[in-house]
Amino acid sequence: MEATSPAGSDRPQPHAQGAAGESASLLLRIKGKLFTWNILKIIALGQMLSLCICGTAITSQYLAERYKVNTPMLQSFINYCLLFLIYTVILAFQSGSDNLLNILKKKWWKYILLGLADVEANYLIVRAYQYTTLTSVQLLDCFGIPVLMALSWFILYARYRVIHFIAVAVCLLGVGTMVGADILAGREDNSGSDVLIGDILVLLGASLYAVSNVCEEYIVKKLSRQEFLGMVGLFGTIISGIQLLIVEYKDIASIHWDWKIALLFVAFALCMFCLYSFMPLVIKVTSATSVNLGILTADLYSLFFGLFLFGYKFSGLYILSFTVIMVGFILYCSTPTRTAEPFESSMPPVTSIGIDNLGLKLEENLQEAHSAVL
């Protein structure tokens, strides 16, 4: 005879039901926080910037390897000229306090320093490749991220949470994975002629990039995108033009021009122009730090294209590196930073929500209001 089980033995226990419900609720909350429309939009914009940087890297490598053309200052000069012809001219025809002459009267020396930082940051990073290794450039270039966070803390009064530091650490881990993949794939062929000089140039260039990005975030959020691009175009053209005549006139004179070389210069200039034009738009809805984390994938895009264009060897670590960087980027963007008000009196400073990741904060407030109603 078979023993019959009690009638209620097949029913799930209340404790098991509660645990399953809590797990499902937690997963839904994580999904709702990490995969919102605003985060997906920020990811897409960040990867668009990475593709622009990838375009500049591919065209520069083609010029250097196929045609023996190494003129980074000339390439930057063309980009600054495009910015000047479009955005500086726009400022010249504006009226009131946004007019070019009024801006120059009040802040000309500040924009000279900004233009100098931007021009030299581009030049120093490219020049460092002649002295040090690819691995050193990729690793030390990340030095700009903690510098950028420190400058944002003191200048923009940005206040970070624990999740932001974890996200940055995850992104840097992804960069380390990428460097390891480069070594295993045999891309580390050049040991450099003077590694110490090259490493110093990378650190200086990364620091100047951080200064430029912090200034860009301040100007874009407090003033206007046109003012930033117009003034960078004006003084970038002047500074890079002078430096071009000093350091690259012999290299330019030795170029054997043809339509292929000209086309590569045009492609580089268009990619760089798009990068400069769109980056302020992305920074305005996020922050300079999140943008710099997002564009860490640019080297990986260059590697993927290099598989077909330059015969690079593939490594599965590249996919792992891309995934780790994207996870860190999503973690950083999932939580908005806070902005502390400037200390203007003897009273303790008031801390409020800043405008970094503004779209994320608005969406978070809407979700909280909806939960309160329910």
pLDDT in tens, 148-176: 999 999 998 888 999 999 999 999 998 88
Residue 363 lies inside a defined structural domain of this protein: no
Percent residues over pLDDT 90 in the chain: 34
Total domains in the fold of the chain: 1
Q: What does the pLDDT read at residue 199?
A: 83
Work out the widest C-alpha separation in the chain, in whole angstroms. 102
Q: How far apart are CA 353 and CA 118, in angstroms?
A: 30
Residue 247 lies inside a defined structural domain of this protein: yes
Q: Are 329 and 167 in contact (CB under 8 A)?
A: yes
97 by DSSP, 3-state: which? helix
Q: What does the pLDDT read at residue 359?
A: 47
Average pLDDT score, the chain? 80
Q: How far apart are CA 25 and CA 28, in angstroms?
A: 5
Residue 25 lies inside a defined structural domain of this protein: no
Residue 362 lies inside a defined structural domain of this protein: no
Comparison of pLDDT for 361 and 170, the residue scoring more: 170
pLDDT-based confidence at residue 135 (cuts at 50, 70, 90): low
- Give me the residue label for tokens 């990039």: 209
DSSP letter at 337 equals -
Cβ neighbours of residue 179 under 8 Å, at least 6 residues apart?
A: 135, 138, 139
**Candidate from 193-202, 228-237, 283-292 with smallest mean pLDDT:** 193-202
Comparison of pLDDT for 7 and 81, the residue scoring more: 81
Q: Between the ranges 158-162, 211-215, 313-317, 337-341, where is the mean pLDDT highest?
A: 211-215
Residue 129 lies inside a defined structural domain of this protein: yes
pLDDT-based confidence at residue 350 (cuts at 50, 70, 90): very low
CA angle 337, 299, 255 (to 5 degrees): 125
Q: Are 257 and 269 in contact (CB under 8 A)?
A: no
**Candidate from 34-48, 183-197, 329-343 with smallest mean pLDDT:** 183-197
In tens, the pLDDT along 6-47 reads 444 455 555 555 555 555 555 555 555 566 777 888 888 889
Task: Identify the bridge partners of residue 159 per DSSP, sorted by sequence position.
Answer: 338
Q: How far apart are CA 359 and CA 286, in angstroms?
A: 8
pTM above 0.85, yes or no: no
- As a residue count, the chain comes to 374
Residue 361 lies inside a defined structural domain of this protein: no
Cβ neighbours of residue 336 under 8 Å, at least 6 residues apart?
A: 353, 354, 356, 357, 358, 360, 361, 364
* Cα–Cα nearest to 309, from 254, 271, 275, 264: 264
Q: How far apart are CA 121 and CA 117, in angstroms?
A: 6
Mean pLDDT across 82-92: 94
pLDDT-based confidence at residue 202 (cuts at 50, 70, 90): confident
pLDDT over threshold 60, residue 362: no
Q: What does the pLDDT read at residue 2?
A: 47
Q: What does the pLDDT read at residue 74?
A: 92
Residue 4 lies inside a defined structural domain of this protein: no
* Structural domain range at position 189: 33-340
Pairing between β-strand 338-340 and β-strand 158-159 as defined by DSSP bridges: antiparallel
Q: How far apart are CA 21 and CA 361, in angstroms?
A: 27
Q: How far apart are CA 56 and CA 280, in angstroms?
A: 18
Residue 225 lies inside a defined structural domain of this protein: yes
**Candidate from 29-33, 128-132, 251-255 with smallest mean pLDDT:** 29-33
Other CB atoms within a 10 A radius of the CB of residue 247 amount to 14
